[in-house]
Amino acid sequence: MRKIKLDLSNLDEVFPKNFTKEQIAKAKTIFLKELSFSAHKFYGGKVQTAPKAGVFGFNWFNVWYTPGVSKVSTTIRDNNDTSFELSNRGNYVAVVSDSTRVLGDGDCTPPGGLGVMEGKAFLMKCLGGVDATALCIDSTNENGEKDPDKIIEFVKMLQPSFGAVNLEDISQPNCYKVLDTLREECDIPVWHDDAQGTACVTLAGLINALKLVEKKIEDVKIVLLGAGASNTTIARLIIKAGGNPKNLALFDSKGGLHLDRKDIETDERFYRKWELCETTNPQKIDTFAEACKNADVMIALSRPGPETVKPEWIASMAEKSIVFTCANPIPEIYPYAAKEAGAFIVATGRGDFPNQVNNSVGFPGILKGALLVRAKKITDNMAITAAKSLAKFAEKRGINTENIVPKMDEMDVFPREAADVAMQAIEDGVARIEMSWDEVYNLAKKDISMSEKTLKMMTESGLIDTPPDEMLQNALKFAIENV
């Protein structure tokens, strides 16, 4: 068995040579899960609270706390907006979830979401220079039901301490009411990353994929498998970005969304799905297989695969078809199988395959831009601007069928995205303060660089322990033995 490197750069090369493509894909998934579990146990999670101000002598405790801090309290009392500059509020995000739809694992109980929410906070700090806290809450009411109003009330109550809120892993239909209510009624940005974040990065990938196949967004036929928060928002943003709703068709577990879906029309909780029933799929196609015929684009965010999407569906699509299969942790069909079926461009939500369409290149920059101009909300225009910013960044450095969106290690994408989003916030009239593009870019770049340097310094100095080699090799051995 070949040893796995600490940086995991040889992950595709360590499995037995007699493994098939499918076995390698399965083994990678098992390895990453096993290593993640061991690493979380080793570190006790992955985020912590650390001071950003110095203690230069004993009396500095009296500066940072009582009696000195009294002037800070009274100043904020007289003008609440000063809290953004006199506390960490201006760079602080609450990651809120009731853990009812955690990645591909469903309802994990409130504490079960902590791994993902801490991950969100980890990425915000590393990629956006943003501080964040995971807040997993119990949304169960006295009747034993998951109650969206409890989430709404909780977020409204925490507003004074945060500059923005990132909603995550809230099951539908509750997610629609929670986001739409809080976007309108809160005085800080409330962002649902499963919905808006995934939609933003998917749109970025679609923009560049369409450039490569020389097709226009207003002309292409698009089929979407899954009609949850992600795909319904993807469809909405595609339409706002120029897509023709008559060329779109969405499918949930019961079939196509269209005007004959009375089960959706009569359930007011699914109003976002009904809006799409009214505007898309005018042919009232009921089977996904039928809708795939001559489709230019497939976007799947549904049930984890690898056999959720059938190769014959892809084979029936138009020439130079674009296939996004983004279920986690396993895509609806593996990329190699989609390519063998005839797909021209394939994207997934995973970083160990080409074309990772993942909101991790979206939310750190988007939230950073919103925070820097103290935005009151994140508009759809801001999300579309972020998508165009991502697409432009990738196009400028070069795109091809295996590389249509920026990667998380292309660090300059985040301050640029932040600056573009901030300018759109100002244009949309939701920013509390105005700054130039260069001012936002430079501030964002400075904060991101500081986070990067801090992590590197802590790792190299031993303040962050290096995982033992045995941990990595045991995870690899476990993966090989359990394919």
**For residue 1, is pLDDT > 70?**
no
pLDDT band at residue 278 using 50, 70 and 90 as cut-offs? very high
The predicted model gives 404-413 an average pLDDT of: 95
Question: Is residue 203 a part of any domain in this protein?
Answer: yes
pLDDT score, position 101:
92
- Residue 453 designated active-site: no
Among 167, 188, 209, the domain boundary falls at: 188
Mean pLDDT of the 429-433 span: 97
Number of domains in the chain: 3
Residue 60, domain member (yes or no): no
Buried-exposed string 40-77: b where 16+ CB fall within 10 A, e elsewhere: eeeeeeebeeeeeeeeeeeeeeeeeeeeeeeeeeeebe
Nearest of 14, 472, 383, 401 to residue 183 by alpha carbon:
383
In a domain, 4, yes or no: no
> Which one from 26, 28, 92, 120 is the annotated catalytic residue?
120
Report the pLDDT value the prediction gives residue 352, as an integer from 0 to 100.
83
Residues 202 and 176 in one domain: no
329 with 228, same domain: the answer is yes
Outline where 214-307 has alpha helix (H): 229-240, 262-265, 271-279, 288-292
DSSP string for 322-339: EEEE--SSS-SS-HHHHH
Does residue 408 share a domain with residue 288? yes
- What percentage of the chain reaches a pLDDT higher than 70? 100
Domain end call among 158, 188, 218? 188
Q: What is the largest CA-CA distance in the chain?
A: 74
* Per-residue pLDDT reduced to its tens digit, 201-258: 999 999 999 999 999 999 999 999 999 999 999 999 999 999 999 999 999 999 999 9
- What token pair was written down for 462? 């031993």
State the helix-helix crossing angle for 198-213 and 229-240, rounded to 10 degrees: 50
Structural domain includes residue 55:
no
Output the CA torsion 463→469→475→478 (10° steps).
-160
Please name the residues in contact with 114: beta carbons below 8 A apart, sequence gap of 6 or more: 45, 134, 136
Active-site entry in 5, 46, 65, 456: 65
Q: For 193, which DSSP code? A: I
Rounded to whole angstroms, how far apart are CA atoms 3 and 473? 7
Query: Is 2 inside any structural domain?
Result: no
Q: Are residues 408 and 281 part of one domain?
A: yes
Is residue 205 located within the same domain as residue 266?
yes
Q: Count the neighbouring beta carbons within 10 Å of the beta carbon of residue 149.
A: 13
Could you identify the residue written with the tokens 């984890």?
A: 304
The reply to whether 444 and 320 lie within a common domain is no
- Whether residue 219 sits in one domain with residue 288: yes
Parent domain of 97: 75-188
Segment 431-440 shows an average pLDDT of 98
- CATH number (domain holding residue 107): 3.40.50.10380
User: What is the distance between the alpha carbons of residues 175 and 133, in angstroms, rounded to a whole number?
Assistant: 20
* Residue 404 within a domain: yes
Of residues 93, 299, 310, the one with CA closest to residue 190: 93
pLDDT at 48 over 80: yes
- What CATH number does residue 279 fall under? 3.40.50.720
Percentage of the chain with pLDDT > 90? 93
What are the residues whose beta carbons fall under 8 Å from the beta carbon of 246, sequence distance 6 or more? 280, 282
Is position 373 within any domain? no
In a domain, 326, yes or no: yes
CA 86 – CA 436 distance, rounded (Å): 22
Neighbouring C-alpha atoms within 13 Å toward the C-beta of 153: 9
Q: Is 65 a catalytic residue?
A: yes
The structure's pTM equals 0.94
Choosing from 142, 168, 188, the residue where a domain stops is 188
pLDDT at 344 over 90: yes
Does residue 461 share a domain with residue 401? no
| CB atoms closer than 10 angstroms to residue 147 | 17
116 and 170 fall within a common domain: yes
Same domain, 37 and 151: no
Mean of pLDDT values over 269-292? 96
- Asked whether the predicted pLDDT for residue 105 surpasses 90, the reply is no
Type of residue found at 314: I
- For residues 327-334, give the mean pLDDT: 91
Name the band, by pLDDT with cuts 50, 70 and 90, for residue 184. Answer: very high
pLDDT of residue 145: 95
175 and 204 assigned to the same domain: no
Do 306 and 215 fall into the same domain? yes
CA distances from 175 to 153, 181, 455 (A): 14, 10, 34
Q: What angle separates helix 469-481 from helix 21-43, to the nearest 10 degrees?
A: 140
Please list, residue by residue across 443-473, b when 16 or more beta carbons sit within 10 angstroms of its beta carbon and e when fewer do. Answer: bbbebbeebeebeeeeeeeeeeeeeeeebbe
